[in-house]
Amino acid sequence: MTKITPYYAVIFTSIQNENTEGYSEMAEKMETLAKSQDGFLGIESARDQIGITVSYWESLDAIKNWKQHSEHLLAQQKGRTQWYNWYHVRICKVEREYDFKST
C-alpha cells in the first residue's frame, strides 16, 4: 500500500462488549463501502483484546465525508448502543513513512 505523503490516518481503537451479534457482517460491509469512497487509500486491522483499525485517506475532507456517510452513521450508532464498551478515534497527518520486509 504505497501512498504519497502527506496523507491522513484514522486510528480507531475499541473494546467490544459481549453482544457482537451482527458485528462481523457490519465490519465487512463498512470496509467494502469505505474502499469505494473518494479519497480512500487503504485499511489495516487487528483484533485481540483490543481492536485497532487504521484507515488511510487523501484528505481531511475525505475523512469527513466518510464519517457522515448514511450507512456509516448507522454503523456508528450500532457500535455505541450494541457492540462497544469503549472506543477512541484519532486522526493523524502522516508526513513520512518507511517499512521493512524480511527476504
What DSSP string describes 29-64? HHHHHHHTSTTEEEEEEEESSSEEEEEEES-HHHHH
pLDDT score recorded for residue 29: 96
Single pTM value for the model: 0.91
- Residue ranges for the chain with pLDDT beneath 50: none
Using a 10 angstrom Cβ sphere, with 0-12 exposed, 13-18 middle and 19 or more buried, the burial of residue 55 is buried
pLDDT score recorded for residue 2: 59
Spatial contact of 53 and 44, defined as CB atoms under 8 Å apart: yes
pLDDT score recorded for residue 32: 97
pLDDT score recorded for residue 64: 98
pLDDT score recorded for residue 1: 57
Using a 10 angstrom Cβ sphere, with 0-12 exposed, 13-18 middle and 19 or more buried, the burial of residue 88 is exposed
